[in-house]
Structure 1
Amino acid sequence: MGDPGREEYKIQSFDAETQQLLKTALKDPGAVDLEKVANVIVDHSLHDCVFSKEAGRMCYAIIQVNNMPMMALVNPVYDCLFRLAQPDSLSKEEEVDCLVLQLHRVGEQLEKMNRQRMDELFVLIRDGFLLPSGLSSLAQLLLEIIEFRAAGWTTPAVHNYYYSEVSD
């Protein structure tokens, strides 16, 4: 598990005990209390929006271990996504990018585990179009993820359309 190619995560802002907990969760999720791990990640994410992107990467890595979803992470991941779908976050390009990226990565799995929360999240995203200002450049990303979900999370055509338009 000490694989040199393994991705490093920015966990230096945590105390030594919490860093060890997170490192163990990333290597062997079955060896730790995942609810405790999830709470640590969510609490830190809610106090530090910049960390939300890192939190998403960490949760995604933990979920990918043994190719099985970790039920303990579903609600904390949703909590982070809900935070990123708030009006103050939807006006920041980096946070919208993070929201869209995480939904591309794990949106389908999250929806299978809790469709009601996904519906609630997409109401927030849809309502993001109603923000009075500062969203015009980000509206395209939000529309992309709405269409991606509507297409069953599987079609690359939506992604290709939006990104070919941007590069033209």
Structure 2
Amino acid sequence: MDKPATEDYKIELFDADVQQLLKMALKEPASVDLEKVASVIFEQSMKDLVFSKEAGRICYTIVQAEHKQSGQSNFRRCVLNRLQQEFRLKEQVRESSVNAWVCLVTFICNVFDYLKVNNMPMMALVNPVYDCLMRLAQPDALQNEEEVDCLVLQLHRIGEQLNKTSTQRMDDLFCLLRDGFLLQDRPSSLSRLLLLEVIEFRAGGWKMSDNAQKYYYSEVAD
């Protein structure tokens, strides 16, 4: 039996009316309220980490459908507007719920990964993405394994393309990661292992040798 498409599977999380709204957005985006669609996707992403990892794919599908149907990109603008609104509140989000904060970072990075302009990253998202990752690299965040895991996952996913937009900011980010090992209150053993792995990952040209991968992930499993 064939597996359902990722978008269809995730849409099943919603009630019938929202499912119908999203299905229409994926097929005929000009026929629905795209601001509402963007809000639905964002709000689900803020409370469901699994969904936030796939939301960029859904957004990409809607953007492609809209471009094919009308040649416009209104949905991309709606997504960016919503992200900008919530990004201003990122510290309040983190203070209220680390899980919601991790979901927000994951969603922003996922959208950055999927939504391009002329096959190039959207420059409007570069600084917000860097700001999120820099926040995850601060001493208090490095004490939280959930935040460290999020940071490392995002760097594996978008680190190379993000590095191309600003080598200096990436250098600054990795200086923070290296400094994290010198803190009086060091990160946990697992967090330090993950940070070492991502430092080596970047040093290797955003690639990991088979031996290094076996070493790090066998340690994580143990």
What's the TM-score once normalised by structure 1's chain length?
0.78
Distance 1:37 1:71, change over 3 A: farther
- Percent of paired sites with the same residue: 47
Structure 2: state its 5+ residue gaps. 1-6, 14-33, 43-55, 65-72
Aligned counterpart, 2:197: 144
Rg comparison, structure with higher value: 2
Q: Which amino acid aligns with 1:119?
A: D
Contact 1:91/1:134, CA 8 A, preserved across alignment: yes
How far did residue 39 of structure 1 move? Answer: 2.3
Query: Which of 162, 181, 189 is equivalent to 1:129?
Result: 181
Opposite residue 196 of structure 2, the aligned amino acid is: L
Helix, strand or coil: the match of 1:153? coil
From 126, 146, 155, the equivalent of 1:74 is: 126
Structure 1 residue 96: Cα displacement: 0.5
Q: Is the 8 A contact 2:159 2:206 kept in 1?
A: yes
Match of 2:164 among 96, 105, 112: 112
- CA deviations 1:53-102 (Å, max 9, x no partner) are 21233223323146652221111000000110010000011010011111
Provide the C-alpha distance between the structure 2 equivalents of 1:59 and 1:164, rounded to a whole number of angstroms.
30
Change (3 A) 1:83 1:120: same
Tell me the equivalent position of 1:90.
142
Which amino acid in the other structure matches residue 90 of structure 2? Answer: S
1:37-48 pair list within 5 angstroms: 37-48=82-93
Q: Counterpart in 2 of 1:4? A: 8
Give the match's secondary structure for 2:8.
coil
Listed one character per residue, the Cα deviations across residues 91-134 of structure 1 (whole Å, up to 9, x for unaligned) are: 01101001111111111110011111000001111110011124
- In structure 2, relative to structure 1, the CA distance for the partners of 1:4 and 1:47 (3 Å cut) is same
Structure 1: gaps of 5 or more residues: 10-16
Q: Shift of the alpha carbon at 1:151? A: 0.5
State which of 50, 54, 63 in structure 2 corresponds to 1:28: 63
Partner of 1:153: 206
Q: What is the root-mean-square deviation of aligned Cα atoms in Å?
A: 3.0
